[in-house]
Structure formats: C-alpha cells, structure tokens
C-alpha cells in the first residue's frame, strides 16, 4: 500500500458500505491515489471527508451529491426466521444469532452501512435514522484516537479486519479438513478385494433407492421452506403496515390502512 493510499484510507469512515461504488474503503482509497475517481463519492463521510480528500489530492472541493444521515439497523425479532443471511453480510460482526434462532443487532457496533437489509428474505431488518455525528457508538474502545471521527473509523476498521482474519482462518481450516478426508474416502475400496457380484448389485440398488428418496425429499422440503418463507414475509408486511398505520406519516398511514383493509378481505375469503 502506498503512503498516499494509506493517508486517504485513514480519512474514510471504514464502514465498507460500498455506496461509493467500490467494494470497500481501501479500494476507493486506492482508486483515489491513482487519480482514477472523484473525491466526493463517500456518502457516509459527508462533506468533511470530501473536503479532506480533495485537499490531500490538491483538487477543488466538490461535496457528495447525497446528504447522508446516519442510521442504525434493527431487527424485527418476531419475524426473523434465523436464516443467518444478515450475519454473513455484516462487515463488522454487529449481528448476533444462530441458525433458526432470532437475530439481533448490537447497536453499539453497527455502522449503519445497510448491507444487511437487502439479503434478508423476510424483510425484517430496518434502518432507523439517528442523530449521532459518527458511528459506531462503541468507538471509545478503539484505543489511541481521541477525535470522534477517527476513533469511529479506527474501531470499524479493527472489527472489519478481525472479521476478515476469522473468515480466512475458517476457509483454511475447511480446506485442510477436506484434504485430510479425501484419501480416507478413496481408500474405502480395497483393489485386492475379490469381485462380489451380489454385493455390487445390492450397493447399486441401495444407491438407486437413496437417489429416489433424495429426489422426493428435496421437492417436499423445498416447497415446505417456500411456504415458511412466504408466511414469514406476510407476517413481516403485516407488522410493518400495522406500525405505519399507528406511527407513520399521513401518506404511510393511508397506504397502510388500505393494505390492512385488503389483507382483512383476503383473510375473510379464505
């Protein structure tokens, strides 16, 4: 990494949100250092980041087009189906949960990057605007940085790097497990064993029967999962419109009441 890339990267918020069009803060810093992109693309960093980037690059300042307001993610836990898609999407490990169990956001660690929202199959993750000038809130644990902006970035970067290391370690462990298991599988058939036709036929029949079962089970399982997903999505929509009908603005209230009215009609038909 060049010195200039490092300097530019240090100015970025490190949420890895990709709203600049790059796959993270470092790739954006690298493109900036090579003068391949504009210095006002970091929506999360707002005007102060755009100004600092332009200054360091000796460019005139252009502010980001969008005025970003920080948001925190929260999960409608009653609707969550525990699929873990959000955990896999969160770059700073700010979501807790296990397979088929309710998930929750550690709000102090959330940077508001929004990357968990889209993968949720039942649409139960919401972003709520907050007045914090910088996120994550747990930035006080970042150590040496005293300015809130840099402390927040340092904390997010540390969490992101720890996650990357953990994922790389997991991948390596899986690879070495696969390597140690492969020869054992291959050695199950001893070439010296005399040919036993009856045993071979029995094995072939068992394989055919297993394949037949596999064909039936996944189809049923697939439709069962689809139904569960549909129901969860419906529950999530219902809860969202109920909330909008109570707390939304006028437009949201009207849309919610109309949706709930149609929903009730549908239920009465069934």
- The footprint of ligand SF4 (CB under 6 A) covers 12-13, 15-20, 22, 24-25, 28, 42-45, 73, 75, 80-86, 89-90, 92, 94-95, 97, 103, 105, 110-116, 119-120, 122, 124-125
CB of 225 to ligand SF4, least distance (A): 13
Best CA proximity match to 6, nearest among 109, 157, 168? 157
Task: Compare residues 118 and 266 and give the one whose CB is closer to ligand SF4.
Answer: 118
d(CA 196, CA 194): 6
Task: Compare residues 93 and 253 and give the one whose CB is closer to ligand SF4.
Answer: 93
Which are the contacts of 88, defined by CB distance < 8 A and separation ≥ 6?
119
CB of 249 to ligand SF4, least distance (A): 23
Best CA proximity match to 83, nearest among 119, 118, 108, 48? 119
Task: Compare residues 90 and 154 and give the one whose CB is closer to ligand SF4.
Answer: 90
Task: Compare residues 54 and 115 and give the one whose CB is closer to ligand SF4.
Answer: 115
The answer to whether 75 touches 124, Cβ cutoff 8 Å, is yes
Best CA proximity match to 53, nearest among 147, 62, 27? 62
Task: Compare residues 156 and 256 and give the one whose CB is closer to ligand SF4.
Answer: 156
Which are the contacts of 144, defined by CB distance < 8 A and separation ≥ 6?
154
CB of 75 to ligand SF4, least distance (A): 5
Query: Phi, psi at residue 89, to the nearest 5°?
Result: -90, -20
Task: Compare residues 131 and 188 and give the one whose CB is closer to ligand SF4.
Answer: 131
Query: What is the pairing mode between strands 104-105 and 95-96?
Result: antiparallel
SS (HEC) of 28-86:
HHHHHHCCCCCCCCCCCCHHHHHHHHHHHHCCCCCCCCCCCCCEEEEECCCCCCCCCHH
- Strand (E) or helix (H) holding 105: strand 104-105
CB of 178 to ligand SF4, least distance (A): 27
Task: Compare residues 117 and 257 and give the one whose CB is closer to ligand SF4.
Answer: 117
CB of 47 to ligand SF4, least distance (A): 13
CB of 88 to ligand SF4, least distance (A): 9
CB of 24 to ligand SF4, least distance (A): 5
Best CA proximity match to 153, nearest among 5, 9, 1, 3? 9
CB of 93 to ligand SF4, least distance (A): 8
The answer to whether 136 touches 151, Cβ cutoff 8 Å, is no
Task: Compare residues 157 and 244 and give the one whose CB is closer to ligand SF4.
Answer: 157
């Amino acid at each position: 990494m060049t010195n200039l890339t490092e300097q530019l990267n240090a100015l970025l918020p490190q949420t890895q949100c990709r709203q600049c069009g790059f796959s993270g803060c470092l790739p954006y810093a690298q493109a900036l250092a090579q003068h391949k992109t504009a210095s006002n693309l970091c929506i999360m960093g707002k005007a102060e980041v755009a100004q600092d980037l332009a200054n360091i690059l000796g460019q005139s300042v252009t502010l980001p087009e969008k005025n970003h307001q920080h948001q925190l993610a929260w999960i409608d836990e009653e609707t969550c189906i525990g699929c873990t898609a959000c955990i896999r999407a969160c770059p700073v490990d700010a979501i807790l949960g296990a397979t088929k169990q309710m998930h929750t956001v550690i709000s102090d660690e959330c940077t508001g990057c929004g990357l968990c929202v889209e993968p949720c199959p039942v649409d139960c993750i919401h972003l709520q605007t907050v007045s914090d000038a910088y996120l994550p809130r747990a930035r006080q644990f970042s150590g040496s940085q005293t300015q809130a902006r840099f402390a927040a970035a340092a904390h997010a970067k540390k969490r992101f790097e720890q996650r990357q290391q953990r994922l790389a370690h997991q991948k390596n462990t899986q690879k070495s497990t696969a390597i140690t298991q492969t020869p054992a599988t291959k050695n199950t058939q001893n070439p010296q064993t005399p040919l036993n036709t009856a045993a071979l036929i029995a094995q072939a029949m068992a394989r055919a029967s297993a394949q037949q079962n596999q064909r039936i089970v996944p189809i049923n399982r697939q439709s069962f999962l689809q139904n569960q997903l549909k129901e969860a999505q419906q529950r999530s929509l219902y809860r969202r419109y109920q909330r909008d009908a109570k707390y939304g603005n006028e437009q949201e209230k009207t849309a919610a009441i109309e949706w709930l009215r149609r929903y009730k009609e549908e239920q009465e038909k069934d």
